[in-house]
Structure 1
């Protein structure tokens, strides 16, 4: 495999052979590095996630490791009935694998990557797209090792109190037809209703212990709102005139919605992650 493309690690979880694409930045051999778990959407693959997000290129610049795990189901098939998907909650996984414990699997991924190259335990982050974003929310509720998370074009999952407040950065396009910005059922994707995107972010911020007041900033036509507390921050980017896509990245498939070119989710996510390591015990 050409240099810079990454390499696969193998592991077995719940009797299934699984694999994870890992990208190591050059020149950091033997050093304890931050780790970003990057979770693909329905029907995706680790390689698709690397392609659409641009996180590997940024990892080379900033010196962090990226792991792109593979969900159960058929890779490269966007059909919700059979396509690879994370079991983030009822109706959100791959139907042939209803008992998949993907919270446990992703913990095993972190352990496996740490065997390959040391991981800084205070700087383990999760970023997800679409169904992968939902899984990132699920991890934030369940996994105490998540220092911060980012969700792109996904909706929160609910139903349990968080282990602890998790700093969160959210991006959602105003023209998303899979998980509509205004809420409800999308014309494409899974037939599951969602809250309006900003309302969901505000509710998530309250769950993380943030106060009701938010501050805002703007970049080009896009708008950031931030809810804060002493323990946590939750930011929400309204991405103007974008559909179901990763801002500043590439389309996830031929014919898919185009990302906006003037907002880089990868750079904003990494800046947010750098500012939020786990507090030392």
Structure 2
């Protein structure tokens, strides 16, 4: 597994490179997962050559219990670990190595990896063009340190019965991660910050797609709500013949600057 040194620590990742690579997608696993596991079930490998993205599966560092994770300011995390710097250095290296378009860098992830997608989107100088968090959230503490004004398109998928990243959030910190916003509050936060005034919604079965946009530019927040859905990476969304991986790449391609 290739590595890169970040502030004195060896950081590992996995790569999948298509023919004629043009853009880059960072893929981030959930709490306790790994880059190898994420590559195995996310579904991007099956459609690698149908698109032009290099996929970089990031490995979080293990905590005291051996659980790999990305630092997003959970109350118990080691704030000395700089996963943002890891992403920044890796992106710079891969852009140079494969001659990629720096305006076609994206991030997706599951659970803790989804939180990290949001975390990257709120940096003062974001390296990502758009993000697709799956079952993710935003910590309340970010409001003191990060910005929500970056005009970054977001696609979130979340189940209403998610028992890990709760749909309604955990402002009282009952689960010990630290206070975090609920899914609708996260959406409202971005909608207000980005002045997204246009809204449309469509429901089909247990899936509701709600989109907020603006005539100003292509910035949008798209929320896929799965009624009764849990904490998982869905097989598909509206089209059963189109995998979640394909939906994510379609969203990223929509927001690729040519």
Pair 91,82 (structure 1): closer, same or farther in 2 beyond 3 Å:
farther
Gaps of 5+ in 2: none
- Does 1:222 find its partner at 2:207? yes
Deviates more, 1:63-72 or 1:155-164: 155-164
- Does 1:58 find its partner at 2:47? yes
How big is the shift at 1:125?
Answer: 0.4
CA distance in 1, matches of 2:32, 2:117: 17
How big is the shift at 1:90?
Answer: 4.1
How big is the shift at 1:185?
Answer: 7.1
Pair 227,261 (structure 1): closer, same or farther in 2 beyond 3 Å:
closer
Pair 195,24 (structure 1): closer, same or farther in 2 beyond 3 Å:
same
1:180–1:194 CA contact under 8 A, matched in 2: no
2:232 to 239, 245, 266: 245
Structure-1 residue corresponding to 2:220:
233
CA distance in 1, matches of 2:79, 2:173: 24
How big is the shift at 1:196?
Answer: 2.6
SS of equivalent residue, structure 1 residue 182: coil
Structure-1 residue corresponding to 2:10:
17
SS of equivalent residue, structure 1 residue 119: coil
1:194 to 155, 180, 199: 180
- Does 1:36 find its partner at 2:25? yes
- Does 1:151 find its partner at 2:148? no
- Does 1:91 find its partner at 2:75? yes
1:185–1:191 CA contact under 8 A, matched in 2: no
How big is the shift at 1:58?
Answer: 2.3
Q: How many residues align?
A: 250
CA distance in 1, matches of 2:250, 2:196: 20
SS of equivalent residue, structure 1 residue 111: helix
CA distance in 2, matches of 1:129, 1:276: 21
Structure-2 residue corresponding to 1:46:
35
RMSD of aligned residue pairs (Cα, Å): 2.8
- Does 1:139 find its partner at 2:120? yes
1:43–1:84 CA contact under 8 A, matched in 2: yes
- Does 1:183 find its partner at 2:169? yes
Deviates more, 1:225-234 or 1:153-162: 153-162
TM-score (norm 1): 0.79
